[in-house]
Amino acid sequence: MGKEKNPRRVADNEAMAKLRMLRTSPQKLNLLAQLIRGKKVDKALTDLTFSQKRIAEDVRKCLQSAIANAENNHNLDVDELIVAEAYVGKNLVMKRGRPRARGRFGALRKPFSEITIKLRQVEEQA
């Protein structure tokens, strides 16, 4: 008996990885998503490795996870992978504050975000 197999959320030539609860604003994270979108995975890994942004290390780990998913779970060729989609979403916002002048309260918002990376296998064009 047992449960039926879950249907795949992506196509047969795609793989994805998602990273949640990243302690940065979605606007800052989207700069890195734009940096890697549409590139081959080796070029995207190089760009993230040498990026000066603090959160680039976590995005690189997510990209490596997507590559590992493509290779091990879906039997895709790593040399033919491109970053098909890289998009960012909002997550939790911690609300903090600090006292200000004349008895007032200054609100501080500490946003979290999440990134989803989808890889697609495309054949080399010679």
Provide the token pair at 14. Answer: 């795609």
d(CA 41, CA 63) in angstroms, rounded, equals: 8
Mean pLDDT confidence for 1-16 = 88
Percent over 70 (pLDDT), the chain: 98
Burial (0-12, 13-18, 19+ Cβ within 10 Å), 65: middle
Note the pLDDT of residue 46: 97
Which of the 8 DSSP states describes residue 27? H
Q: Which of 39, 89, 90 is nearest to 63 (CA)?
A: 39
Segment 95-111, tens digit of pLDDT: 999 999 999 999 999 99
Cα R_g (the chain), whole angstroms: 19
Task: Name the band, by pLDDT with cuts 50, 70 and 90, for residue 9.
Answer: confident
Note the pLDDT of residue 126: 57
d(CA 82, CA 58) in angstroms, rounded, equals: 19
Cut 0.75: pTM above it:
yes
